[in-house]
Structure 1
Amino acid sequence: MTLAAALLAGCASGPVYRAAPAPGDYGYRDTQLTAQQFRVSFAGDSGVARETVENFALFRAAEVAIAHGAPRFQVTSRETAPITSHSDYGPSANVGYGWGFPYWGTGVGYSTGGASRTRYETSLLIRIGPDVPAQAADVFDAREVKANLAAMVAARQT
């Protein structure tokens, strides 16, 4: 039992903040839509809290802004959605019997099987460039966001 728990923990301990290697995988993705607009998303694996997924999307937005020489970015749209998957192991029936002097017995069991897992994905539309005001609703200082969230991102890498 302990070995199984250790193996499962090892599978779940991979890096959380990373580029998504393929569609449907967890990690970040960003797409430049125009010279000043980007779509930035982060999909968490199951077990990653919604707040963490939202913070990682903001961290990636800050990285995108800095990489394009922008001191700040404005979030013009945001959406976080739960994605639930269900694994169906199918029904199973078991019949058993046993005895021990002077008793004996039989039993029948039925299980529907299956498990549900929920993960979160956040998608942001951000705007960078000279038209982004210094202060307004949903305007973030890119370096400040990156500095404030860096410890959390680093902590989720091991």
Structure 2
Amino acid sequence: MKTRLITLLLGCTLLAACASGPAYRPAVRADDFGYRDTMLTSDRFRVSFSGDYAMARESVETFALFRAADVALAHGATHFRINSRETSPVTSNGGGPSTSIGYGYGYPFFGTGIGYSSGGYSRTRYETVLEIQIGPDIPDSGPEIYDANELKRNLSPSVASTQD
């Protein structure tokens, strides 16, 4: 009996570990959580990060910036400019009123019951979309201009802390 219980607990622990993953990751599907980037022109990219329902807005914005630095460095640029930035809440609603009928038997009694719930829920997550520009025309400093290496170095501890 103890062996079965230990095996069951170990199996549940392994399944839970597989279900959670790193927060900073590519989004596999269009409606998935994670980052996406699209080359718009040879020097402009759209970079986005969608957080899950448990992720704070600040973390979503940090991960989008981190990804923008990754994109710039991957294309040989040391600096990038943010041309536009937007963080939006995405709210989903679900549930709603429900009715249930049940019955039961326990010697010597039999019973029925009716239940009603007016429940429902609302959850909010955040998505940040950046349009960035790279290339030789980007100066080393100025408004909305970032040093990609410095940004990655400064934000790496925040990103690494979510990579369970």
Give the corresponding residue for 2:97. Answer: 90
Partner-residue secondary structure (3-state), 1:38? strand
Give the corresponding residue for 2:83. Answer: 76
1:138 equivalenced with 2:150 (yes/no): no
1:49 equivalenced with 2:60 (yes/no): no
Distance in 2 (CA, whole Å) between partners of 1:12 and 1:153 is 19
Distance in 1 (CA, whole Å) between partners of 2:18 and 2:125 is 16
Q: TM-score, normalised by structure 1?
A: 0.82
Q: Which amino acid in structure 1 is aligned with residue 143 of structure 2?
A: A
Q: Which amino acid in structure 1 is aligned with residue 142 of structure 2?
A: A
Q: Which moved more, 1:127-136 or 1:48-57?
A: 127-136
What is the aligned residue count?
147
Closer, same or farther in 2 for the Cα pair 1:86/1:10, shift >3 Å? farther
Task: List 4+ stretches of structure 1 deviating above 3 A.
Answer: 9-13, 93-96, 107-110
Identity of counterpart residues, as a percentage? 57
* 1:58-88 deviation per Cα after TM superposition (whole angstroms, max 9, x unaligned): 0000000000110100000000000011121
State the Cα RMSD in Å: 2.6
Shift of 1:92: 2.5
Equivalent of residue 120 in structure 1, options 111, 126, 138? 126
Q: Which moved more, 1:129-138 or 1:21-30?
A: 129-138
Give the corresponding residue for 2:4. Answer: none
Partner-residue secondary structure (3-state), 1:130? coil
1:154 equivalenced with 2:160 (yes/no): yes
Contact conserved, 1:92 with 1:113, CA < 8 A, in 2? no
Contact conserved, 1:27 with 1:44, CA < 8 A, in 2? yes
1:111 equivalenced with 2:125 (yes/no): no
- Flag structure 2 segments of 5+ consecutive residues without an equivalent: 1-8, 104-112
Partner-residue secondary structure (3-state), 1:33? strand
- Flag structure 1 segments of 5+ consecutive residues without an equivalent: 97-106
Shift of 1:113: 1.9
Give the corresponding residue for 1:27. Answer: 34
Distance in 2 (CA, whole Å) between partners of 1:118 and 1:88 is 15
1:61 equivalenced with 2:72 (yes/no): no
